[in-house]
A = this chain, B = another copy of it.
Amino acid sequence: METASMSLLHALKEVLSEQQVTENQTVRELHGRDESYHKESLPDLVVFPETAQQVSEIVKLANKYEVPIVPFGLGSSLEGHVIPYEHGITIDFSLMNKILEVRESDFLVRVQPGVTRTQLNKELKKYGLFFSVDPGADATLGGMAATNASGTTSVKYGVMRDQVRDLEVVLADGSIIHTGNLAAKSSSGYHLNGLFVGSEGTLGCFTELTLNVYGIPEHVMAARASFPSLNDAVEAVVSILQAGVPIARVELVDEPSMKQVNLFSETSYKERPTLFLEFHGNEAGLKQDVEFTREIVEDHHCLDIEFETDNAARNRLWEARHNLAYAFIHGHPGKKMMVTDVCLPISELSGAISHAREAVDLLGLPGGIVGHVGDGNYHTLLMIDMSNQDEIEKAEKFNEQIVLYALERGGTCTGEHGVGVGKQKYQQKEHGQALHVMENIKLALDPDNLFNPNKILKTKDRG
């Protein structure tokens, strides 16, 4: 698109200001990768719209010039979602970063897609509220909705999809729709909220989100419990869930990962398979939940359980957990991270994690296992030398082994990171004939394959 690109550029500059459109090499490079091991590819142009109307104009021009569009938040995706392998226009939403409305008494906020979760939480704190979804990275809310992100708190508060009451979306023809409303529930029409959340920019561009928020809990208690084996730790979680303890967070960190945590966060936590736990509730109820949990973990050979009652220690604990991926990256300079992301029914979790641990040990690559085990979701973090083809192949084969194990037991290839390009090869196996329904929906909503082509689904070439 050599000459076409010139007239597209010209046309874009008619609907956007000079500074909102760029061909700058450095900017393009920043939009040619994400945080994963997937290979780079640059967009032809990067645009920075400020309004839904501008997004609509960009989409119409992309349509006219037959150029694909990739929406971009902060690039913290882990499966190559935002990498424009077909080039074209990347829409960067960083200028659409306003918190538009806090409906305090409705427990709702209306935000632009470029707002990050920590930015939102900082504002919400003034109202005694918080936004629950916490994937670790300080991602944008638009990006989190696009991948149906979740994380440490979803065992209690649900995933991103559960928080979305309404999206403003620019469709392939440039029209602007709302997918929901402000009511807590609705049985009106097809559930477009659910369809667009997790669509990874393949069906439209989000220009506004209305999200559920929660009151900051009256009392919070955090704990660390260490175990002689990974299996004991996982079985303890299963028992806590089965006992009906309304736990707010329960994270597993294995021994190699605890070592990385200590190295990076300058903590001196015991280097054993560890559960990080959190409880939210009223004082009396919490006390009873905590006591019950202590009994359960002791039944599972817990070596020691320590409670963090004050705010600072609690924050330190969760920061250590959150920094884990960075700790691995920091500890292995020059290498890239590959993360598995399967999720299984809880009864299959213990077997799955044992299987993964054995496979990592056989692999001979540095790696740890961590997980949002309350949901049945765990990650294997593998550090790979991207110049070593053998390592890459071993890691990919390992990922496949982990995925197939999960799929054979009713699980999914991705619990929270999404499909992007990395999990595309498992879609047929996971969804069977249902993949054809997804393809039909994509074709119905984006007939010219304008939006993030070849993500989630392998779509036909633009020719």
Residues of A within 8 A of B (CB): 103, 105-108, 147-150, 154, 159, 161-162, 171, 175-179, 181-195, 197-199, 214-215, 217-218, 238, 241-244, 246, 281-289, 292, 343-347, 375-377, 406, 409-419, 423, 426-427, 430-438, 440-445, 456-457
| B181 close to A411 (CB less than 8 A) | yes
Apart from A105-B242, A282-B292, list 16 A-B contacts with CB within 8 A: A107-B346, A175-B433, A177-B433, A183-B411, A184-B343, A184-B377, A187-B416, A188-B412, A188-B430, A188-B431, A189-B419, A189-B438, A189-B456, A191-B198, A192-B437, A214-B244
Most B CB atoms within 10 A — which of A190, A191, A193, A433? Answer: A190
Question: How far is A108 from B285 in the complex, measured between Cα atoms in Å?
Answer: 26
Q: A105-B347, A177-B433 are in contact. Are A417 and B192 (CB under 8 A)?
A: no
Find chain B residues with CB under 8 A from A218 CB: 244
**22 A/B residue pairs, CB under 8 Å, sorted by A:** A148-B186, A159-B185, A178-B431, A178-B432, A182-B344, A183-B375, A183-B412, A185-B412, A185-B415, A185-B416, A187-B414, A189-B198, A190-B195, A191-B195, A192-B437, A282-B288, A284-B287, A284-B288, A285-B289, A440-B444, A440-B445, A443-B444
Question: How far is A377 from B187 in the complex, measured between Cα atoms in Å?
Answer: 11
| A410 close to B191 (CB less than 8 A) | no
Find chain B residues with CB under 8 A from A283 CB: 288
| B285 close to A345 (CB less than 8 A) | no
Question: How far is A340 from B405 in the complex, measured between Cα atoms in Å?
Answer: 49
| A183 close to B345 (CB less than 8 A) | yes
Q: What is the distance, in angstroms, from A183's C-beta to the closest C-beta of chain B?
A: 4
| B343 close to A434 (CB less than 8 A) | no
Checking B188, B192, B427, B442 against A413 with a beta-carbon cut-off of 8 angstroms, the contacting residue is B188
Checking B189, B409, B440 against A434 with a beta-carbon cut-off of 8 angstroms, the contacting residue is B189
| A171 close to B437 (CB less than 8 A) | yes
| A445 close to B437 (CB less than 8 A) | yes
| B345 close to A103 (CB less than 8 A) | yes
Checking B154, B435, B441 against A441 with a beta-carbon cut-off of 8 angstroms, the contacting residue is B441
Q: What is the distance, in angstroms, from A141's C-beta to the closest C-beta of chain B?
A: 16
Question: How far is A285 from B179 in the complex, measured between Cα atoms in Å?
Answer: 38
Checking B162, B184, B376, B434 against A177 with a beta-carbon cut-off of 8 angstroms, the contacting residue is B434
Question: How far is A431 from B343 in the complex, measured between Cα atoms in Å?
Answer: 34
Checking B154, B197, B282, B435 against A185 with a beta-carbon cut-off of 8 angstroms, the contacting residue is B154
| B199 close to A190 (CB less than 8 A) | yes
Find chain B residues with CB under 8 A from A345 CB: 103, 106, 108, 182-184
Question: How far is A78 from B346 in the complex, measured between Cα atoms in Å?
Answer: 37
Question: How far is A189 from B195 in the complex, measured between Cα atoms in Å?
Answer: 10
Most B CB atoms within 10 A — which of A176, A183, A411? Answer: A183
| A105 close to B346 (CB less than 8 A) | yes
Find chain B residues with CB under 8 A from A377 CB: 183-185
Q: What is the distance, in angstroms, from A288's C-beta to the closest C-beta of chain B?
A: 4
Find chain B residues with CB under 8 A from A282 CB: 285, 288-289, 292
Most B CB atoms within 10 A — which of A192, A241, A434? Answer: A434
Question: How far is A108 from B217 in the complex, measured between Cα atoms in Å?
Answer: 29
Question: How far is A189 from B412 in the complex, measured between Cα atoms in Å?
Answer: 10
Q: What is the distance, in angstroms, from A83's C-beta to the closest C-beta of chain B?
A: 17
Question: How far is A288 from B219 in the complex, measured between Cα atoms in Å?
Answer: 13
Checking B148, B194, B457 against A187 with a beta-carbon cut-off of 8 angstroms, the contacting residue is B148
Question: How far is A181 from B410 in the complex, measured between Cα atoms in Å?
Answer: 6
Question: How far is A437 from B447 in the complex, measured between Cα atoms in Å?
Answer: 12
Find chain B residues with CB under 8 A from A414 CB: 186-188
Find chain B residues with CB under 8 A from A189 CB: 198, 419, 427, 430-431, 434-435, 438, 456-457
Find chain B residues with CB under 8 A from A411 CB: 181-183
Closest 5 pairs (CB-CB, A-B) = A285-B285, A194-B194, A182-B410, A444-B444, A186-B412
Quick one: closest B residue to A442, CB to CB? Answer: B190
Find chain B residues with CB under 8 A from A285 CB: 281-282, 284-286, 288-289
| B175 close to A415 (CB less than 8 A) | no
Q: A183-B411, A194-B195, A437-B177 are in contact. Are A427 and B188 (CB under 8 A)?
A: yes
